[in-house]
């Protein structure tokens, strides 16, 4: 009840501040304005080798206002909610707007596209976690890692976090959208050491909206230990061209490259390898990628985007064909299109899974490389050329043979998307982009 009452008060505070800021903008002659405001608080506790390393309490508050004088705009922000500070922020935004160049594509989202109803997506589940309880959870998590394998000799720590907040988006054309969210997590990173003294690091973690959905912390610690221990004895391999299987938690990076290439800034700057690609085949015909923004308790769920535009379940790739771009209002106007409700990014991007788990995909691959970690960033957004450092496991006869490191994997994203052989059912739901493992038919693996 205390948490509910406090958050209700936060709602009222933010709504009142937004009304004040919008009134001030109108009073300064602005033709339109928008306000983003938020309040939040959280706790983070880290334990290393059984000892408390950090205890952090955080409280966040912010308000950003953007004003429009016709086609000219200006923005300013403040973390000070006193009336005089709010007035100064609005005045600063107005001053900036008066000296900026006109931009015919700027402005608020079209009212016709705004969310009319705001569904409850079950995103708010406060966790009454005190410091002592958080320390105990972190200690148990790390202890489980050390108990799992005797080769685990050191630790970077186990961390328990909890955060809750409320955010408001309000505009001068009457939109008021409040969202309350929580995010809770447990993570553990450890180092294993073999008889030669060589060491390997790995981690495991969980992230949820509702603390009741967290796995036992011992499972996370043990997972981190197994992941680190299995990498001991890693070696290089000779340069070759083979199939590559991306483990689910790294496969989602291939989705991020896709979204970047079809997002507004890349398109109107003509710096994307997927220019003019809507309604053209990009993946094999069985691939289905879609946004599911109203999935309950999901990490990427949102009832509206950052401009108040309604979110809805929509196909991105259907039948292997790219069906649309990801646009906010500004990019849509520049491109002569309509906003897709993607101001601020995508919301729960999902890849329809296939029938096989990771073990099944290993058997399907037969011989090749399983990638479990990516290093560096070597993506050319204009050409789609792809080159990244990697670590993982060499696979023979459909089974893991030995760990590998100090390798580079390379191809072109168009070829990789077209060469997608299978998507696993081992979907990783811990992120905004959710997918199972990806099996790519062929890539160049550069080693010794």
Q: Are residues 23 and 92 in the same domain?
A: yes
Lowest mean pLDDT among 196-200, 264-268, 369-373, 434-438: 196-200
Contact 246, 437 (CB under 8 A): yes
Coil, helix or strand for 441? strand
Q: Are residues 409 and 394 in the same domain?
A: yes
Tokens coding 256: 């991020």
Strand order in the sheet with 433-434: 321-322, 314-318, 289-291, 349-351, 433-434
Between strands 420-423 and 438-446, the pairing is: antiparallel
Residue 1 confidence (pLDDT): 38
Contact 221, 140 (CB under 8 A): yes
CB-count burial class (<10 Å; 0-12, 13-18, 19+) for 84? exposed
Q: Are residues 106 and 139 in the same domain?
A: yes
C-alpha–C-alpha distance, residues 364 and 353, integer Å: 15
Predicted model pTM: 0.94
Question: Rounded to whole angstroms, what are the CA distances from 149 to 152, 191, 225, 416?
Answer: 6, 11, 7, 37
Helix (H) or strand (E) holding 89: helix 83-99
Average pLDDT, the chain: 96
Q: Which residue has the tokens 């309350």?
A: 180
Q: Are residues 164 and 267 in the same domain?
A: no
Q: Are residues 109 and 187 in the same domain?
A: yes
Confidence of residue 2 (pLDDT cuts 50, 70, 90): very low
Q: How many CA atoms lie within 13 Å of 320's alpha carbon, on the beta-carbon side?
A: 14
C-alpha–C-alpha distance, residues 448 and 368, integer Å: 16
Q: Are residues 374 and 255 in the same domain?
A: yes
Residue 8 confidence (pLDDT): 63
Q: Are residues 419 and 404 in the same domain?
A: yes
Among the three residues 229, 259, 275, which one is the final residue of a domain in this structure? Answer: 229
Confidence of residue 248 (pLDDT cuts 50, 70, 90): very high
Average of pLDDT values for 51-60? 97
Average of pLDDT values for 131-160? 97
Contact 304, 118 (CB under 8 A): yes
Among the three residues 208, 229, 250, which one is the final residue of a domain in this structure? Answer: 229
Among the three residues 178, 212, 229, which one is the final residue of a domain in this structure? Answer: 229
Q: Which residue has the tokens 């809805």?
A: 312
Q: Are residues 84 and 185 in the same domain?
A: yes
Show the domain range for 262: 234-448
Bridge partner list, 161: 44, 185
C-alpha–C-alpha distance, residues 149 and 275, integer Å: 50
Tokens coding 283: 């993946």
Looking at the 3D structure of the chain, how many domains does it have?
A: 2
Residues 74, 77, 81, 87: is their CA dihedral positive or negative? negative
- Dihedral, 40, 43, 46, 47 alpha carbons, nearest 10: -170
Residue 75 sits at φ, ψ, to 5 deg, of: -135, 150
Confidence of residue 74 (pLDDT cuts 50, 70, 90): very high
Q: Are residues 250 and 223 in the same domain?
A: no
Tokens coding 53: 């390393």
Give the rounded percent of residues in the chain with a pLDDT score beyond 70.
Answer: 98
Q: Are residues 78 and 211 in the same domain?
A: yes
C-alpha–C-alpha distance, residues 168 and 61, integer Å: 12
Print burial letters for 315-341: b (CB count within 10 Å at least 16), e (below 16): ebbbebbbebbbbbbbbbbbeeeebbb
Q: Which residue has the tokens 């168009």?
A: 414
CATH of the domain at 170: 3.30.2290.10
Residue 386 confidence (pLDDT): 98
Residue 447 confidence (pLDDT): 87
Residue 7 confidence (pLDDT): 54
- DSSP code of residue 303: S
CB-count burial class (<10 Å; 0-12, 13-18, 19+) for 59? exposed
Average of pLDDT values for 25-32? 96
Average of pLDDT values for 83-98? 97
Q: Are residues 206 and 343 in the same domain?
A: no
Residues 301, 38, 5, 114: is their CA dihedral positive or negative? negative
Closest CA to 346 of 327, 360, 366, 333: 327
């Amino acid at each position: 009840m205390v948490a509910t009452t406090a958050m209700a008060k936060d709602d009222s505070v933010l709504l009142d501040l937004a009304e004040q800021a919008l009134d001030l903008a109108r009073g300064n002659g602005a033709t339109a304005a928008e306000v983003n405001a938020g309040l939040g608080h959280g706790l983070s506790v880290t334990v290393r080798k059984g000892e408390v390393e950090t205890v952090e309490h955080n409280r966040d508050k912010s308000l950003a206002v953007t004003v429009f004088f016709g086609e000219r705009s200006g923005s300013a922000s403040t973390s000070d909610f006193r009336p005089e500070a709010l007035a100064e922020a609005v005045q600063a935004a107005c001053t900036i707007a008066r000296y900026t160049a006109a931009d015919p594509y700027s402005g608020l989202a079209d009212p016709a596209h705004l969310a009319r109803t705001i569904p409850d997506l079950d995103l708010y589940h406060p966790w009454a976690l005190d410091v002592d309880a958080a320390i105990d959870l972190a200690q148990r998590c790390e202890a489980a890692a050390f108990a799992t394998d005797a080769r685990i000799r050191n630790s970077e720590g186990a961390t328990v976090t909890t955060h809750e907040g409320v955010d408001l988006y309000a505009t001068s054309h009457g939109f008021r959208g409040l969202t309350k969210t929580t995010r809770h997590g447990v993570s553990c990173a450890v180092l294993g050491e073999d008889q030669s003294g060589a060491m390997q690091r790995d981690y495991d973690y969980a992230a949820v909206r509702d603390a009741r959905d967290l796995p036992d912390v011992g499972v996370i610690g043990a997972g981190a230990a197994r992941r680190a221990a299995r990498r001991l004895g890693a070696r290089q391999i000779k340069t070759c061209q083979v199939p590559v299987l991306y483990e689910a938690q790294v496969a989602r990076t291939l989705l991020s490259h896709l979204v970047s290439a079809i997002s507004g800034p890349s398109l109107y700057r003509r710096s994307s390898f997927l220019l003019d690609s809507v309604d053209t085949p990009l993946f094999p015909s069985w691939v289905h990628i879609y946004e599911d923004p109203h999935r309950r308790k999901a990490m990427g769920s949102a009832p509206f985007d950052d401009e108040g535009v309604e979110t809805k379940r929509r196909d991105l790739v259907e039948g292997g064909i790219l069906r649309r771009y990801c646009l906010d209002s500004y990019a849509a106007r520049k491109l002569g299109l309509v906003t897709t409700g993607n101001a601020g990014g995508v919301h729960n991007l999902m890849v329809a899974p296939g029938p096989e788990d990771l073990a099944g995909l290993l058997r399907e691959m037969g011989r090749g490389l399983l990638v479990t970690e990516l290093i560096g960033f070597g993506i050319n957004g204009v050409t789609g050329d792809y080159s990244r450092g990697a670590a993982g496991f060499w696979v023979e006869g459909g089974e893991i043979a030995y760990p590998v490191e100090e390798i580079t994997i390379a191809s072109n994203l168009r070829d990789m998307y077209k060469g997608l052989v299978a998507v696993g059912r081992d979907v990783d739901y811990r992120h905004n982009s959710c997918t199972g493992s990806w099996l790519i038919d062929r890539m160049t693996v550069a080693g010794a």
